[in-house]
């Protein structure tokens, strides 16, 4: 989204991608028009140690979030699926 687009980010979480300073950032994004999205973006660590976004990523409307997550779960092996379910059992989502 280019131009004078402004968005507020919340529920930001960084996941270490490879142990070399690359991360996947997951965030909820709310546009200045009140539209809500989920954004998955690749970040790198610059020479100053700051996490910086790349152009690689995907942003989708929250209306299709359940379908996207279901598709990801369906693509997982049984062991991966069980690891996800174990993680949900260990975190209290409010």
pLDDT at residue number 5: 58
CA distance 71 to 81: 12
Residues 6+ apart with CB under 8 A from 78: none
Whether 2 maps to a domain, the answer reads no
Question: Binning pLDDT at 50, 70 and 90, where does residue 37 land?
Answer: very high
User: Cβ contacts of residue 38 below 8 Å, gap of 6+?
Assistant: 26, 27, 28, 29, 59, 60, 62, 65, 68
Residue 72, in any domain of the structure: yes
pLDDT of residue 90: 62
| Structural domain of 84 | 7-90
Domain count, the chain: 1
Confidence class for position 91, pLDDT limits 50, 70, 90: low
Inside any domain, residue 70: yes
Position 1 in a domain: no
What CATH number has the domain bearing residue 84? Answer: 2.30.31.10
């Amino acid at each position: 989204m280019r131009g004078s687009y402004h968005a507020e980010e919340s529920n930001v979480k960084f996941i270490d991608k490879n142990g070399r300073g690359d991360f996947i950032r997951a965030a909820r994004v709310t546009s200045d028009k009140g539209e809500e999205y989920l954004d998955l973006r690749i970040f790198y660590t610059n020479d100053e140690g700051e996490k910086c976004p790349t152009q690689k990523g995907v942003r989708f409307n929250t209306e299709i979030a359940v379908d996207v997550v279901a598709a990801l779960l369906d693509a997982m092996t049984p062991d991966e699926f069980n690891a996800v379910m174990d993680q949900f059992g260990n975190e209290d989502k409010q």
